[in-house]
Amino acid sequence: MNGGFEIKKILNNNVVIAISDQNTEVVLTGKGIGFNQKQGERLDESKVDKYFVLIDKHEQEQYKLLVPNVPESFIAIMNDSISLIEDKLDSQLDEHIHVSLTDHLSFAIKRLRQGLDVKYPFLVETQTMYPKEYTIAEEVIQHINHKLDVALPDGEIGFVALHIHSAITNRSVGKLNKYSALINQLVHVIEDSLYLGIDRTGIDYLRLVRHLRHAIERSELNQPVEAHERLEKVLKEEYPVCYNLSWKLIKIMQKELRTNFPDAEAVYLTMHLQRLSPK
């Protein structure tokens, strides 16, 4: 940060909207930086602990509405939590996490205090798909529980992990939730088709879910997959049930995601299914 800032709007004693010397609207945080200040006054950068830019106009307006309606102490805890996440990842997150995660957790705590418990149905899938984000999310929830003397349910770890991955990849939380739901659906189709129950703690489940996640992401990015025609022929002949099931799963993904999957995906998926099938 170079130079100072002109205050545009005071959201609370510790958060202000300001205009930088580069004429960019920024969010400034710091203990007491908004106290006894007025719109149009200059604010020295030495008083600022952190600043970030919300480029999206809708997110700017959301944050301006959100901050005055939650306790100042909670905003400070969220800023600390986001700094914790960035330190653990050793990288800066997309700034939309300041809006999305703060909004989500403030509402989650409100529900908790009202005695309402919203279950997150894809906790195991999220933990398997995003293990690093999940581990960091556990620390974030522990930090918030300690600071606010609450006991957020484990499902919130899954939600926070999604928000972290969203801020890393710039994919919406809604899209990531859709992926988790789709993979959950595919696993149930596999269990029904192969007449088995898959151990959610086993290595084969871990490999399967991560393969499905990467297959979905490859399709989204239109990335090619190396073809193995000879191997495909062998798998088709030796494991017809798993091969046909792999195509059933691919068709489900194509329908849900409205995108195409290369034929080679069936080869790799068949190998994962064969590991799972009864010997």
Give CA–CA dist 81/59, Å, rounded. 19
Residue 63 located in a structural domain: no
Report the candidate in 154, 1, 143, 13 with the shortest Cα–Cα distance to residue 82: 143
Structurally, the chain folds into a number of domains equal to 3
Answering whether pTM is above 0.75, one says yes
Say whether both 249 and 214 belong to one domain. yes
Say whether both 22 and 91 belong to one domain. no
Say whether both 133 and 209 belong to one domain. no
| Residue 238 CB burial class (10 angstroms; 0-12, 13-18, ≥19) | exposed
Q: What is the CATH number of the domain that holds 101?
A: 1.10.1790.10
Residue 232 located in a structural domain: yes
Say whether both 187 and 267 belong to one domain. yes
Query: How crowded is residue 267: how many other Cβ atoms within 10 Å of its Cβ?
Result: 22
User: Rounded to a whole number, what is the distance in angstroms from the first to the last CA of the chain?
Assistant: 63
Give CA–CA dist 254/265, Å, rounded. 12
Alpha helices in 95-202 (DSSP H): 97-113, 123-129, 131-148, 155-169, 173-194
Residue 236 located in a structural domain: yes
Residue 83 located in a structural domain: yes
Residue 218 located in a structural domain: yes
Say whether both 158 and 196 belong to one domain. no
Contact (Cβ atoms closer than 8 angstroms) between residue 72 and residue 13: yes
Final residue before a domain boundary, out of 170, 190, 216: 170
pLDDT, tens digit, 9 for 90 and up, residues 172-208: 999 999 999 999 999 999 999 999 999 999 998 999 9
Final residue before a domain boundary, out of 53, 78, 97: 53
pLDDT, tens digit, 9 for 90 and up, residues 66-94: 999 999 999 999 999 999 999 999 988 99
The pLDDT mean for the chain works out to: 92
Cα→Cα distances 44→1, 15, 31, 47, 54, Å: 10, 14, 13, 6, 21
The range of the structural domain enclosing residue 128 comes to 70-170
Residue 58 located in a structural domain: no
Q: What is the CATH number of the domain that holds 28?
A: 2.30.24.10
Could you tell me the strand order of the sheet in which 50-52 lies? 42-43, 5-12, 15-20, 25-29, 50-52
| pLDDT computed for residue 168 by the predictor | 96
**Lowest-confidence range among 13-17, 26-30, 55-59, 239-243?**
55-59
Give CA–CA dist 194/278, Å, rounded. 8
Say whether both 140 and 222 belong to one domain. no
